[in-house]
Each structure stands twice: as structure tokens, then as C-alpha cells.
Amino acid sequence: MTQLLFGYRSIEDLRSAGEARVAARWVPLIDALFPKSDPYMWWPDRFYPGA
């Protein structure tokens, strides 16, 4: 769930890896609520020079 929340992985990634069991009818809703994006987090990534 944390990987979805921060945009690190999509629900399809989690389903295909067997890490999430979600009915197919809920996938569009979960994708809309938790879109895959740049998983940047200020505190842990603050020393990364490329960020």
C-alpha cells in the first residue's frame, strides 16, 4: 500500500508480482486514486544531487 501511496508502483505491478489481490473491477479506481509517478520523498532524498 505504501508503494501505491507514494507512486512507486502501480496496482498492475503489484498484482502481476502476486503482492496484491484485487478484483479487476477495482483496478481503474485504484489507478485513479494512486497514480504512478515520481516517488520522490523530501527527507530521504534531500542529499541526492540529481534531485
Confidence of residue 1 (pLDDT cuts 50, 70, 90): confident
C-alpha cell of residue 21: 489481490
2-50 pLDDT per residue, tens:
888 888 889 999 999 999 899 999 999 999 999 988 766 666 666 666 6
Cβ atoms of 39 and 6 within 8 Å: the answer is yes
The whole-model pTM stands at 0.66
Residue 7: per-residue pLDDT = 83
Residue 23: per-residue pLDDT = 94
* Rounded Cα gap, residues 36 and 12, in angstroms: 10
Cβ atoms of 2 and 33 within 8 Å: the answer is no
